Amino acid sequence: MWPRQRRIECIAAQVRFRENSATFIFIPRDSSLFPSPGTSGNQDREILVQHLLVKEDQLQLLTELQKRLVQEDIDLSDLATEHSICPSKKNGGMLGWVSKGRMVPEFEEAAFSAPLNKIVRAKTKFGWHLLQVLSERFSGFLVEIQPEELAKRMKDPEFRENAQLLDVRELKEIKIASLDGFKPFPLSQFGEWGPTIGDTLDPDKDTFVVCHHGVRSLQAAQWLKSQGFSRLHNVSGGIHAYSTRVDDKVPVY
């Protein structure tokens, strides 16, 4: 068995591409919880959480499990797989990276106040939880960039050298019209490039995403943000707006 800290580091590295199972503690997505791309107030703390859940009348079991975690060389994930009633048990209780507003209040309060790696308990309407925060990060920003501003930046050689430029349209669209320097990442081929995106691109670099009208690129940028990309720019209005407002040599389709 690996040392505990090594296992935690491994989990933190691998969870980026793991889809969360349905769990009891998450609340439905609401647009009010996710600032629009035009806002820059997205510097929210995110935490990597795993937990186990038992029924409300099983406090004694929870106490026994908590003692085992202290006295034995065992991970919370091992106990979650065996004892948790949350669907996340199939992933060892892993909930992935979460931000405030995504969990029921009692769980959220306990999780966001918990020291890293410390096992804490929480009581919610679903029962009793043991939870552990394995890591933390700041979610960065996702903003809209106007075509005029993009054109200005693209004149700077250093910008082209340092920025990551993604075009998420289909290849047949790119053949009709394209912007110099943007590399194709067609959404229809997401299954090919998605799982290795953290190796292909640098999550800490400025990343610019374009599509036809700015809708698909926004979806892609939001996904990239969930994967830890911290400096994201969605081209407002897409290549269509760039053509009509900046450079009429770029074909309109």
Q: What are phi and psi of 155, to 5 degrees?
A: -75, -15
Residue 207: name the closest of 218, 215, 193 by CA.
218
Residue type, 203: P
Percentage above 70 pLDDT, the chain: 82
Question: 105-127 pLDDT, tens per residue?
Answer: 999 999 999 999 999 999 999 99
More confident residue, 54 or 12: 54
How many alpha carbons lie under 13 Å from residue 40 in its C-beta half-sphere?
4
Q: Is 24 exposed, middle or buried (0-12, 13-18, 19+ CB in 10 A)?
A: middle
- How many residues are there in the chain? 253
Q: Under a CB-based contact definition with an 8 Å cutoff, are residues 50 and 77 in contact?
A: yes
CATH placement of domain 45-137? 3.10.50.40
Q: Write b or e for each residue in 216-240: b if 16 or more Cβ atoms lie within 10 A of its Cβ, otherwise e.
A: bbbebbebbbeebbbbbbbbbbbbb
Closest CA to 8 of 47, 39, 43, 42: 47
Look at residue 46 in the predicted model and tell me its pLDDT: 84
User: What's this model's pTM, rounded to 2 decimal places?
Assistant: 0.52
Who contacts 218 (Cβ-Cβ below 8 Å, separation ≥6)?
A: 37, 209, 234
Q: Are 93 and 20 in contact (CB under 8 A)?
A: no
The CATH class of 141-246 is: alpha beta
The model's pLDDT over 124-160, given as tens digits with 9 standing for 90+, comes to 999 999 999 999 877 678 999 999 999 999 999 999 8
CA distances from 167 to 175, 180, 196 (A): 12, 10, 17
End-to-end CA distance of the chain: 58
Each residue's pLDDT tens digit, 13-69: 334 333 333 455 655 433 332 333 333 333 468 899 999 999 999 999 999 999 999
| Identified catalytic residue from 94, 211, 235, 241 | 211
Q: What is the DSSP string of 144-178?
A: EE-HHHHHHHHTSHHHHHHSEEEE-S-HHHHHH--
* pLDDT, greater one: 209 or 103: 209
Domain regions of the chain by residue span: 45-137, 141-246
CA distance 70 to 82: 17
Nearest to 234 by CA among 248, 220, 250: 220
pLDDT of residue 91: 92
Give catalytic status of residue 211 as yes or no.
Answer: yes
